[in-house]
Structure 1
Amino acid sequence: MAREGLGGNEPADRDTRDLPLRPDTDPISDEAESERDDEPSAVHAEPEPGKPDHPDAVPVHRLAALTRRALEGLGAAAIARLPAVRAALVPRLPRMALAFAAGLLLFTSFPAVNWWWAAVVAAALLAWVLTHPATTAAGGLGYGFLFGLAFYVPLLPWISSLVGAVPWLALATMCALFPGLFGLCAVIVRRLPGWPLWFGVLWAAQEWLKSVFPFGGFPWGSVAFGQAQGPFLPLVQLGGVALLSTAIMLVGFSATAIALEIAKWWQTGRERGGDDAKPPAVVLPGVCICLVLFAAVIVWPQVRHSGAGAGGEPTVTVAVVQGNAPRLGLEFNAQRRAVLDNHVRETLRLAEDVRAGAAPQPQFVIWPENSSDIDPLINADAAEQVARAVAAIGVPVVVGTILDVAGRGQESSAYTNTVIVWNPVTGPADRHDKEIVQPFGEYLPMPWLFKHLSGYADRAGHMVPGKSSGVVHVAGVPVGVSTCWEVIFDRAPRKAVRNGAQLLAVPSNNATFNQTMSEQQLAFAKVRAVEHDRYVVVAGTTGISAVIAPDGAELVRTDFFQPAYLDIQVRLKTKLTPATRWAPILQWVLVVAAGAVILVGIRQNGWFPRPIRLRSRPRGEAEDAGAPPGETPPDEGGDHTSPDGGDDDTPPDEGGRPDFGRHRGAT
């Protein structure tokens, strides 16, 4: 940086300033120079290498000093900001605590806790946080994200048993972004009349977005899947998972609206003496709660009757074989032959019990996903073992296997996750290739990126999505197949039922996870059974295997991580429910409504840019003329207020612009 001289007008010195000085010369004074000349010059010994004063060691010491100074500066800055951080956090702590508690409560509505009512309480607490006058749009994003973390982190720990804690926490964080987006949008629309209804619509929209993005979506954690044992479950037969999730959250949001209105009415009545207080606006939230309860009561008898069955419905006896795996974990793929042998052995035991009269003769048998992880179409030994089991039981067996797309019998870069029907005489017949493959498990998206981020990326498979109707015909029965991961997506079981499936099968491989994951997946199957009015057969390599009635009741089930088989009679159903017919349309109506209400909320809050109206000038007036007398030009003083008339001096999320977003009750 250039520096100016201290002297102003000294031309005589200009000729001598640039001359080189002797090492012992100091241009201070003549006396100083004479005194210095009389003194003997000091002799400095050259520092030895390795000593601290050696030139090679100077950069190291300088670096250490700079690092120490930087750390001291950062520490001092952090300490200096502590009062500001404390002042920012303390007013928000109650809302942060409630958002966190709400997320934990929503988690407890899922297996293995199964407190279905906790979802309603969670929605009520979250609504209170988002309608608080001090919660800004940024605050809504933060509180929603905190709510999502408290929900998804304890919901998905079974992922850590496969790939460790980092991918588990990364997935939970990604999922938490969607409740955060909901919180942001909820603050935008909370001033609109009937905000509990709009909150419910927004929640349905964020669940839809999470089910399609990113990498095909991750619907795991939809509120509806936590209602497998709750009284609101019959609602899923009317409008699918989207309607059930919206209804549960709407009840909680409406309860908060009623509580806020009553509290405001009580406070206003006390201030005014209780005579002229305006009645609380509880009609709309009360109607919302009543409609949800009424719809559940109306549908419940029909669902219960469907579970009991009708006399004219045909019946079949189906068996489920759970062969088990030698051990859990990623080593499952190295146990392929052992897993196949286990399922053959358990099928032979079933055949012996049938011949002994200890078990009824099934019309067909269902094996789990990956029960033969060796391609039986190109591996003669695997085909021989499957044929041996099929011949022993004497009926078709639905086998879960992995097929080489190229069919060369060598290492291929593409496989399909396939369920194939194996007949006793003719061998392989109908097949279902899994259409919705699991990212990071069955295939690796964006390998050019994720291979450098995690050492587990190379363990992902090379599965490709297949194409099928979702239905295989087994012993003349159209069976809809949703292989493991597919059951959480609305479109997979719906497609099978629309294509004529009279029974649903969910072959799954949970050997790489734990019992918590199996319990959650079983709950999803219960929701699908009620949604489509079908019996659902769940077959797992290590469990939990079960047969579920159309009312969501478990008829039989196995324990986790043990070899077993199930043998039971079920009814074939042909009726299509309203959810099977119309749920996709309802889903899109909710999404479009959410987009529309967000636009209305933005306009209500004055966030749209306003057109600038230019003042017409008299002819001849200069264009750069100043403001008229008596007016203050913009940006040069005067009153600068926000479009809402609020004060921007208050920090965000601490009540700035008190009229923005203030709860005014439902109408």
Structure 2
Amino acid sequence: MGNQVAVPVDAARPAVDPTPETPAKGAGRLARFRAKVRGGWKRSALAAAAGLALAAAFPPYDIWPLSVLAVAALALLTHGRTVRQGLWTGFAFGFPFFVWLLVWLRVIGWDALFGLSLAEAMFLWALGGGLALTSRLRGWPLWGACLWVAEELVRDREPLGGFPWGRLAFANTATPFTPLAALGGAALVSFAVALTGSLLAYLVLRVVHRGSAPTGPVGWLKPTAAVLAAAALTGGGALVPIPTTGDTAGGPASVKVALIQGNVQQPGMDFLGRPMQVLNNHAGETERLAAAIKAGQAPDPDVVIWPENSSDLDPYSDPAVYARITEAVTTIGKPTLVGALVNGPDAQHVQNEGIVWDPISGPGAHYTKQHPVPFGEYVPFRSVLMKVITRLQRVAHDFYPGKGIGVMQLGPARIGDVICFEVAYDDIVRNTVNGGGRVLVVQTNNADYADTGQPDQQLAMSRLRAVEHGRAVLIAATSGISAVIRPDGTIESRTAEMTAAELSATVPLRDGKTLADRLGAAPEWALSVIGLLACGGAVLVSRRRRPSGSDPAATA
């Protein structure tokens, strides 16, 4: 046998590089993925809870401090996150918020509720991404508050004319923030609420990151400034003067009004009942008021106001309807604002109008609703959607939009008329005031949504408009809520829902303009542009800080 060389056992095996440690590395990746999932679900759940809290800040709950806390929660959940994480967090916040806020849409259908909530949540999806992006900048609470205004600006206008429900300002119509509306409109109120919430989030992060209270004068400087700024925003509204008395520059200083709420047969989509029933309800309530005035049991008004759709048929084409309105107005003997559906201008359209009806000369000046409600008062893309969604066939005619503002002379008062959802749109109400309206009238028909919370939400919007424009607001509703609101936003009187009622009051007539009237939409656009510029600045800063060769998607 030849000589054999002893080979060590280890040397006989193929060499293996221990560096990759494939099983351990895979386990590490799996652990990190699971941690991300757990963290993502927790963040999503917290965002959803914050969205529900924001919904509770609105009527009919009116827990307005939750609007500040919800903003703070969203700021904390998006702070320091990637834009992708911020986008998802914004959606997780927005979808449950809108579902609860708009739950009254279940009357139309749950699909309508979830569909609109999904569409509206996409705006908060974008807001969440913007908040995450700008959280990397110095002064991020300010930029975040500006982005809240930008989100509302776009959502109030697009698509199909926009849908302003859910603005932060509309959760703060009787709060310390409310007087700011007289300076910069609803947009300034939203900005103040958003900035206060963002500053609260900043203070929380200071405590969490430092683990203790700041030390030394320099350490206390920023937190102190944040506290003072939040206090100024919250309490500063008390310094804003809100005029409540009438003036005589444009006529009498006040007017005595009677608001008629005739009620409907039943709430819901089929509120009209048989033809002329709603009209007879309002005519009959007006005649009962006339009898009470004659007996000395009720004050004699200068003018009478009926709600939207108080005549369910066209008085110009139906002699019986014309005669019934004339009979009631002649009995009360006062100029009456009548809400009616008028046929035209062609066979496919009707017009939603407020008509000044004189007891002697009959119908005169009128205002046609400028902003019909998509899918409720007209069907976009009708020829296509009617084949897919058969329920839309209930909207037999599209409402034709009016072209002018609702300034009309009603007896001794030059009124500014807006109809129903139009009270939610800044420019419609503002143009009415700047066009000469001395008192605001909101003719509305909320019978579809009676006892759902929607009438309360619309009432809150009217309170904000009173402060914003320094005008009394008179709400006449078919089934409620009718109300008399003073120029400082306080409710002088209101009705219950689903009942026939009448409200009488003497309200001031004003010609003076608030700063908000003069500035118009300028504050909203300025704040929005600042927020968008901050997003651009954050992108530039991110690119400069990004190491060469890094994956851009990690921060995008």
Give the TM-score taking structure 2 as reference length. Answer: 0.89
Task: State the distance in 2 between where 1:583 and 1:122 align.
Answer: 28
Partner residue, 1:544: 481
Distance verdict in 2 for CA 1:336–1:530, change over 3 Å: farther
- Per-residue displacement from partner, 1:255-294 (whole Å, max 9, x unpaired)? 111221233233698xxxx899955743553453144135
Asked if structure 1 preserves the Cα contact closer than 8 Å seen for 2:264 and 2:272, the reply is no
Task: State the distance in 2 between where 1:260 and 1:111 align.
Answer: 31
Partner residue, 1:219: 164
Asked if structure 1 preserves the Cα contact closer than 8 Å seen for 2:246 and 2:253, the reply is no
AA of the residue aligned to 2:523:
L
AA of the residue aligned to 1:93:
W
Give the one of 532, 535, 547 matched to 1:644.
547
Q: Aligned to 2:408, what secondary structure does the other structure show?
A: strand
Matched, 1:147 2:50: no
Q: Aligned to 1:400, what secondary structure does the other structure show?
A: strand
Partner residue, 1:158: 104
- Per-residue displacement from partner, 1:357-385 (whole Å, max 9, x unpaired)? 11111111100001002111111000000
Identity of aligned residues (%): 35
Give the one of 26, 31, 41 matched to 1:93.
41
Distance verdict in 2 for CA 1:530–1:431, change over 3 Å: same
Superposition map of 1:37-48 within 5 A: none
Asked if structure 1 preserves the Cα contact closer than 8 Å seen for 2:420 and 2:442, the reply is yes
Asked if structure 1 preserves the Cα contact closer than 8 Å seen for 2:450 and 2:479, the reply is no
Task: State the distance in 1 between where 2:313 and 2:213 align.
Answer: 73
Q: Aligned to 1:282, what secondary structure does the other structure show?
A: helix
Partner residue, 2:21: none
Task: State the distance in 1 between where 2:551 and 2:38 align.
Answer: 20
Partner residue, 2:59: 111
Asked if structure 2 preserves the Cα contact closer than 8 Å seen for 1:224 and 1:244, the reply is yes
Partner residue, 1:588: 525
- Per-residue displacement from partner, 1:615-642 (whole Å, max 9, x unpaired)? xxxxxxxxxxxxxxxxxxxxxxxxxxx9
Structure 2 residue ranges without an equivalent (≥5): 1-29
Matched, 1:248 2:193: yes
Distance verdict in 2 for CA 1:179–1:263, change over 3 Å: same
Give the one of 234, 244, 247 matched to 1:293.
234
Partner residue, 1:375: 314
- Per-residue displacement from partner, 1:289-339 (whole Å, max 9, x unpaired)? 14413531311xx22xx3466899712110000011111122234534110
AA of the residue aligned to 1:428:
P
Asked if structure 1 preserves the Cα contact closer than 8 Å seen for 2:307 and 2:338, the reply is yes
Distance verdict in 2 for CA 1:281–1:314, change over 3 Å: closer
Asked if structure 2 preserves the Cα contact closer than 8 Å seen for 1:194 and 1:285, the reply is no
Superposition map of 1:66-81 within 5 A: none
Task: State the distance in 2 between where 1:645 and 1:277 align.
Answer: 35
Matched, 1:236 2:181: yes
Give the one of 460, 478, 492 matched to 2:428.
492
Q: What RMSD, in angstroms, separates the aligned Cα atoms of the two structures?
A: 2.5
AA of the residue aligned to 1:261:
R
Task: State the distance in 2 between where 1:496 and 1:601 align.
Answer: 40
Give the TM-score taking structure 1 as reference length. Answer: 0.75
Partner residue, 1:125: 73
Partner residue, 1:511: 447
- Per-residue displacement from partner, 1:407-427 (whole Å, max 9, x unpaired)? 8xxxx2111111000001100
1:84 shift after superposition = 9.2
Give the one of 551, 560, 571 matched to 2:508.
571
AA of the residue aligned to 1:173:
L
Distance verdict in 2 for CA 1:277–1:564, change over 3 Å: closer
AA of the residue aligned to 1:322:
Q
Asked if structure 1 preserves the Cα contact closer than 8 Å seen for 2:263 and 2:281, the reply is yes
Q: Aligned to 1:606, what secondary structure does the other structure show?
A: helix
Task: State the distance in 1 between where 2:216 and 2:420 align.
Answer: 62
Task: Kindly tell me the number of residue pairs found equivalent between the two proteins.
Answer: 524
Task: State the distance in 1 between where 2:244 and 2:312 align.
Answer: 35
Distance verdict in 2 for CA 1:276–1:363, change over 3 Å: closer
Task: State the distance in 1 between where 2:306 and 2:147 align.
Answer: 41
Partner residue, 2:11: none
Asked if structure 2 preserves the Cα contact closer than 8 Å seen for 1:321 and 1:365, the reply is yes
- Per-residue displacement from partner, 1:37-75 (whole Å, max 9, x unpaired)? xxxxxxxxxxxxxxxxxxxxxxxxxxxxxxxxxxxxxxx
Structure 1 residue ranges without an equivalent (≥5): 1-81, 608-641, 662-667
Task: State the distance in 2 between where 1:195 and 1:286 align.
Answer: 15
Asked if structure 1 preserves the Cα contact closer than 8 Å seen for 2:265 and 2:272, the reply is no
AA of the residue aligned to 1:91:
G
- Per-residue displacement from partner, 1:415-441 (whole Å, max 9, x unpaired)? 111100000110011100111111001
Give the one of 411, 415, 428 matched to 1:479.
415
Decide which structure has the larger Cα Rg and report it.
1
Partner residue, 2:393: 458
Task: State the distance in 1 between where 2:220 and 2:330 align.
Answer: 76
